[in-house]
């Protein structure tokens, strides 16, 4: 396991005081490692989990050549260019069992969708395309080619080959695919355990009476929601005051239970609290000023799960201990402002947690949408503005901002269905210009 210094040395131009968003993602991809514990789960319990092994098809899908249409099956070699074809109906093939008759030249079989193709037949004409009379059908000329409307054995999945790959997320469609193979269980990585708490003397828990200068804690609830949507096992440690003993106990409690720790607040320069000092004391941690808006301050690193373990002085050549006496939990120290917490989670923490979950999925592509308004933007930082995507009169996506973009204006997140992503080198946006949007659907 590499130290923070080792990872930093791998990133050309690494500057913790002005770190581009792209470098944050590259850094985190090197910092985190997938969980290793495997569970064998029934399908009804596996939704949202990540496969720990390939799912191999035990048979061909479909297991036989079959009809893709309700219609009439026949030997396609009888088709002649420019000539209509009259065929006698020799019987009916139903789905779920093989037709036992034989078919002569000039004959066809009425067939239902999914029914096994009778021997010697390879083409199906949909029933709505033929004229039927007195036990015969008439095919118009130039309607079909040999092999039309036939599903081939194994064209979906082949016996002995992977139907799903290790690292894929089990979506509803993938659960259905596993079930179609007759498999009752799947091997998945265990859920990721994530502990989180808010810090600050100004933070109120729900149920406490209001007091001057204090605010109710919203971050724990948004983080809880995003972690739950991700399929993590969430450990809520509440609000921790700015007292060294309480902070140390919270970090050690979190590290003892979890694979990852998320905190909000206490990572900005000059803040009058002990959170940063305790992170430094208990782990190998980097403190960043990310070139982004909102959410500039951020801390990442690892916290020892056992504070009694001796942590050696870290150098650029050292690896961080990860044995029975010094296991670690990955730390994500997020800013305290509500919108900044959500933005940094979506932009950086969520991809890192997916990697820890064992997911090999590529990041979801961003939506291109036409801006309905000019947007001011300075090159040199990535901006994540709250936006509302709708469909324009021409049918193409269009987007507008949700107004006040202050990092404490949580209501603007409730009015948005995506984040407008204005990239590091990008400047002002003109009305009508296409821009990238990170959509929220299914994420928050």
Picking from 151-160, 230-239, 435-444, which range would have the lowest pLDDT averaged per residue?
435-444
- What CATH class does 4-37+191-356 carry? alpha beta
Do 293 and 335 meet the contact criterion of CB atoms below 8 Å apart? Answer: no
Return the CATH fold of 39-60+157-189: Molybdopterin biosynthesis moea protein, domain 2 (3.90.105)
Burial of 52 (0-12, 13-18, 19+ CB in 10 A): buried
The pairing of beta strand 260-264 with beta strand 193-199: parallel
Query: What confidence tens digit (pLDDT) does each residue in 278-295 have?
Result: 999 999 999 999 999 999
Rounded to whole angstroms, the Cα distance separating 52 from 257 reads 22
Q: Is the pLDDT of residue 315 over 50?
A: no
List, in sequence order, every residue forming a beta bridge with 194; answer none if it has no partner: 234, 260
pTM given for the model: 0.87
The pairing of beta strand 215-216 with beta strand 203-204: parallel
Rounded to whole angstroms, the Cα distance separating 11 from 2 reads 13
Q: Is the pLDDT of residue 271 over 90?
A: no
Cα–Cα separations (whole angstroms), residue 301 to 78, 252, 340: 71, 14, 19
Query: What confidence tens digit (pLDDT) does each residue in 10-44 have?
Result: 999 999 999 999 999 999 999 999 999 999 999 99
Query: What confidence tens digit (pLDDT) does each residue in 143-161 have?
Result: 999 999 999 999 999 999 9
Query: What confidence tens digit (pLDDT) does each residue in 154-206 have?
Result: 999 999 999 999 999 999 999 999 999 999 999 999 999 999 999 988 888 88
∠ Cα 402 407 409 (to 5°): 55
The pairing of beta strand 397-401 with beta strand 367-371: parallel
Q: Tell me how far the alpha carbon of residue 141 is from its chain's centroid.
A: 50
Q: Where are the alpha helices (DSSP H) in 192-345?
A: 219-230, 244-257, 275-282, 338-344
With a CB cutoff of 8 Å and minimum separation 6, the contacts of 142 are 81, 82
Full DSSP string of 152-197: PTTSSB-TTSEEE-TT-B--HHHHHHHHHTT--EEEEEPPPEEEEE
Do 317 and 6 meet the contact criterion of CB atoms below 8 Å apart? Answer: yes
Q: Record the tokens describing residue 123, joined without a space.
A: 């083409």
Nearest one of 354, 260, 255 to 29, comparing CA atoms? 354
List, in sequence order, every residue forming a beta bridge with 26; answer none if it has no partner: none
The number of residues in the chain equals 444
Cα–Cα separations (whole angstroms), residue 413 to 29, 97, 374, 405, 419: 27, 55, 20, 9, 9
Q: Is the pLDDT of residue 318 over 80?
A: no
Rounded to whole angstroms, the Cα distance separating 196 from 248 reads 14
CATH number of 367-439: 2.40.340.10
- What CATH class does 66-151 carry? mainly beta
Domain ranges of the chain: 4-37+191-356, 39-60+157-189, 66-151, 367-439
Q: Is the pLDDT of residue 442 over 80?
A: no
Nearest one of 191, 298, 190 to 234, comparing CA atoms? 191
With a CB cutoff of 8 Å and minimum separation 6, the contacts of 128 are none
Picking from 221-225, 266-270, 397-401, 436-440, which range would have the lowest pLDDT averaged per residue?
266-270
């Amino acid at each position: 396991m590499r130290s923070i210094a080792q990872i930093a040395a791998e990133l050309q131009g690494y500057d913790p005081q002005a770190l581009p968003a792209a470098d944050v993602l590259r850094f985190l991809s090197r910092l985190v490692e997938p969980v290793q514990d495997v569970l064998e789960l029934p399908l009804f319990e596996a939704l949202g989990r990540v496969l720990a092994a390939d799912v191999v098809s035990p048979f061909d899908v479909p297991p036989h050549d079959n009809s893709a249409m309700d219609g009439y099956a026949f030997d396609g070699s009888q088709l002649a260019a420019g000539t209509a074809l009259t065929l006698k109906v020799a019987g009916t093939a139903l789905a779920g069992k093989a037709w036992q008759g034989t078919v002569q030249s000039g004959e066809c079989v009425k067939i239902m969708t999914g029914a096994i193709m009778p021997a010697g037949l390879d083409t199906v004409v949909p029933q709505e395309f033929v004229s039927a009379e007195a036990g015969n059908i008439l095919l118009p000329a130039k309607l079909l080619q040999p092999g039309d409307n036939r599903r081939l054995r194994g064209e979906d999945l082949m016996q002995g080959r992977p139907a799903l790959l290790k690292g894929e997320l089990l979506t509803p469609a993938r659960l259905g695919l596993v079930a179609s193979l007759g498999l009752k269980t799947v091997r998945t990585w265990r859920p990721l355990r994530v502990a989180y708490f808010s810090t600050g003397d100004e933070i109120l828990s729900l149920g406490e009476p209001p007091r001057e200068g204090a605010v109710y804690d919203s971050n724990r609830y948004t983080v809880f929601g995003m972690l739950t949507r991700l399929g993590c096992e969430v450990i809520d440690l509440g609000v921790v005051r700015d007292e060294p003993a309480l902070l140390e106990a919270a970090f050690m409690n979190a590290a003892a239970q979890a694979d990852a720790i998320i905190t909000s607040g206490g990572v900005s320069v000059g803040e009058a609290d002990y959170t940063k000092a305790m992170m430094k004391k208990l782990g190998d941690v980097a403190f960043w000023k990310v070139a982004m808006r909102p959410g500039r301050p951020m801390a990442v690193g690892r916290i020892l799960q056992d504070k009694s373990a001796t942590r050696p002085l870290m150098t650029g050549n050292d690896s961080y201990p990860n044995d029975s006496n010094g296991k670690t939990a990955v730390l994500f120290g997020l800013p305290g402002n509500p919108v900044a917490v959500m933005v940094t989670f979506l932009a950086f923490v969520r991809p890192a947690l997916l990697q820890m979950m064992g997911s090999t999925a590529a990041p979801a592509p961003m939506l291109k949408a036409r801006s309905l308004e000019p947007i001011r933007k300075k090159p040199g930082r990535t901006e994540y503005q709250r936006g509302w995507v709708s469909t324009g009169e021409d049918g193409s996506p269009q987007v507008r901002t949700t107004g006040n973009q202050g990092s404490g204006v949580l209501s603007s997140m409730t009015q948005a269905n995506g984040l407008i992503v204005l990239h590091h080198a990008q400047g002002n946006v003109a009305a009508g210009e296409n821009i990238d949007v990170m959509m929220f659907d299914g994420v928050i």
